């Protein structure tokens, strides 16, 4: 996307060391625990300034109503076509692109976000972790009992039966607990939606979609249903809440509906095959449809056709930062870097606080190989890092800019910071040691390199231990 960054992130939820003694336990918990763990190992994240801005517009009133600081919650977009959303690792909200694209409008997404805000505000992450800690020992005990029974009788099926009986009881306790949490999060979501001036009918509509999947085999269900137990009581509660809400029947504001249409069109354009996108939006003249077609033609690639459509949109909306950003990306990725600079600069003027757009400008400035643009590029990168200190790509550009300026110490420090952001502790340590040899001793940069070295060594020791 403009810039549509797709990346793998494995460190969000770390993979546990293999413990062969509890394989049965892990298998028994697989449908509860492993959906999140597997996603952490395999999910691909996307970043796009416009999509993130749209999600923030949805989420801010929900988080505010929940008494949460919206700026303290990180939102991650997962490139996955299934319906799912979850909170994990503290103040982190994960949304699948499949959910965003399937939602009929803003209020469905807002309802899901309100529900997840209920989990955060209710402290459910900590209590669920505590409940898992208390459940696993019981499952270990039942597994050991089952193994003992199998040894005594000489029959493996007896051992498995005993183990499963104990595990089943433990899982039942855990399910009862999580269903209680789901009901509590629903109640909170209804409160948040009403306080923000929206009916909870969007959340109800989403839950009714999931309700239709309950008859499917587990593997055919969307992940949200597997990790958020659904009951008839929850559906009935939401139906009553919709009837009682003073906002039922009122659609989302026009501005949010327009943002939603653009978001879906953009996701379609970048994530689907170009021909599929062109067929879907064929003959439509809406702004969103033309937006999707411009992206599809750009990806074919047919740059001339893409620019023709995009220039038409810019003629109608000359102050739209995301149209300028997309044009910059189209030109940049087709080697027309000098022309791309003008589009990126205009996008930054219109959205100066948007780090992804500023980062794209910095990359284009460095790609020109013009020494006069090295300083402005470094300034743009530093502004990005002021708000996103763990942005590995920004640290890479910082290393390039420092290297061209002849500042080898800061180059090493930037490479070390970037390695830390990627979770590459060995490279982080090596570059931090190198930076300390090149930087002025006891300077802020030198002290930072020393801190990175110590932290990298601590993590390596923990990982190897």
pTM score, two decimals?
A: 0.80
Three-state secondary structure call for residue 8: strand
Reference 133, options 173, 162, 183; nearest CA is 173
Domain boundaries, the chain: 5-244, 407-465
- pLDDT for the residue 378: 98
Query: Residue 228 has what pLDDT?
Result: 54
What pLDDT shows up at residue 183? 81
Task: Give the distance, in angstroms, between the CA of residue 356 and the centroid of all CA atoms in the same chain.
Answer: 15
Which residues are registered as beta bridge partners of 75?
93
Cross-strand partners of 44: 8
Residues 394/379, Cβ–Cβ less than 8 Å = no
| Edge-to-edge strand ranges of the sheet holding 85-87 | 5-8, 44-47, 74-78, 92-96, 85-87
Q: Kindly provide the b/e burial profile for residues 218-244, where b requires at least 16 CB atoms within 10 angstroms of the residue's own CB.
A: eeebbbbbbbbbbeeebbebbeebbee
Per-residue pLDDT of the chain (465 residues; tens, 9 = 90+): 655 554 433 333 333 333 333 333 333 333 333 344 444 445 688 999 999 999 999 999 999 999 999 988 888 898 988 888 888 766 788 899 999 999 999 999 999 999 989 988 877 565 555 544 444 444 444 444 443 444 343 444 434 443 444 444 444 344 333 677 888 889 999 999 999 999 999 999 988 887 655 434 344 444 555 455 566 788 899 999 999 999 999 999 999 999 999 999 999 999 999 999 999 999 999 999 999 999 999 999 999 999 999 999 999 999 999 999 999 999 999 999 999 999 999 999 999 999 999 999 999 999 999 999 999 999 999 999 999 999 999 999 999 999 999 999 999 999 999 999 999 999 999 999 999 999 999 999 999 999 999 999 999 998 887
pLDDT at 122: 79
Classify residue 251 by its DSSP letter: P
Please list the helix, strand and coil fractions of the chain in percent, rounded to the nearest 5, in that order. 75, 5, 25
- pLDDT value at residue 91: 79
Please report the pLDDT score of residue 99 as a whole number. Answer: 93
């Amino acid at each position: 996307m403009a810039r549509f960054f797709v990346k793998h992130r494995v460190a969000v939820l770390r993979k546990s060391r293999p413990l062969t003694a509890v394989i049965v336990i892990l298998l028994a918990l697989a449908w509860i625990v492993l959906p999140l763990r597997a996603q952490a190992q395999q999910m691909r994240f996307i970043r796009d300034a416009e999509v993130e801005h749209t999600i923030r517009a949805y989420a801010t009133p929900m988080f505010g109503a929940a008494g949460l600081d919206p700026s303290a919650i990180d939102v991650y977009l997962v490139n996955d076509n299934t319906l799912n959303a979850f909170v994990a690792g503290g103040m982190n909200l994960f949304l699948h692109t499949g959910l965003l694209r399937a939602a009929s409008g803003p209020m469905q997404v807002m309802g899901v976000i309100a529900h997840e805000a209920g989990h955060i505000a209710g402290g459910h992450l900590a209590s669920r972790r505590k409940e898992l800690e208390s459940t696993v020992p019981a499952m270990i005990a039942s597994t050991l009992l089952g193994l003992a029974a199998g040894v005594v009788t000489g029959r493996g099926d007896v051992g498995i039966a005993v183990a499963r009986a104990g595990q089943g009881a433990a899982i039942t306790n855990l399910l009862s607990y999580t269903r209680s949490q789901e009901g509590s999060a629903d109640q909170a979501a209804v409160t948040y939606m009403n306080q923000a001036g929206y009916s909870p009918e969007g959340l109800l509509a989403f839950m009714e979609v999931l309700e239709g999947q309950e008859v499917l085999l587990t593997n055919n269900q969307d992940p949200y249903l597997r990790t958020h137990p659904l009951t008839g009581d929850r559906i009935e509660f939401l139906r009553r809440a919709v009837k009682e809400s003073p906002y039922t029947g009122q659609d989302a504001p026009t501005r949010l509906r327009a943002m939603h249409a653009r978001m879906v069109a953009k996701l379609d354009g970048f994530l689907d095959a170009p021909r599929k996108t062109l067929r879907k939006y064929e003959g439509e003249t809406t702004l969103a449809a033309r937006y999707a077609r411009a992206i599809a033609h750009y990806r074919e690639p047919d740059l001339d056709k893409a620019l023709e459509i995009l220039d038409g949109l810019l003629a109608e909306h000359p102050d739209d930062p995301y149209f300028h950003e997309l044009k910059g990306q189209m030109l940049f990725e087709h080697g027309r870097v000098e022309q791309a600079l003008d589009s990126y600069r205009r996008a930054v003027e219109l959205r100066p606080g948007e780090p992804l757009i500023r980062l794209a400008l910095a990359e284009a400035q460095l790609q020109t190989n013009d020494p006069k643009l090295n300083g402005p590029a470094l300034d743009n990168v530093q502004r990005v890092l002021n708000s996103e200190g763990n942005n590995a790509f920004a640290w890479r550009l910082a290393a390039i800019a420092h290297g061209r300026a002849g500042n080898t110490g800061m180059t090493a420090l930037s490479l070390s910071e970037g390695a830390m952001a990627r979770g590459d502790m060995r490279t982080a340590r090596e570059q931090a040691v190198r930076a300390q040899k090149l930087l002025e001793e006891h300077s802020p940069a030198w002290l930072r390199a020393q801190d990175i070295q110590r932290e990298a060594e601590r993590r390596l020791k923990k990982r190897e231990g």
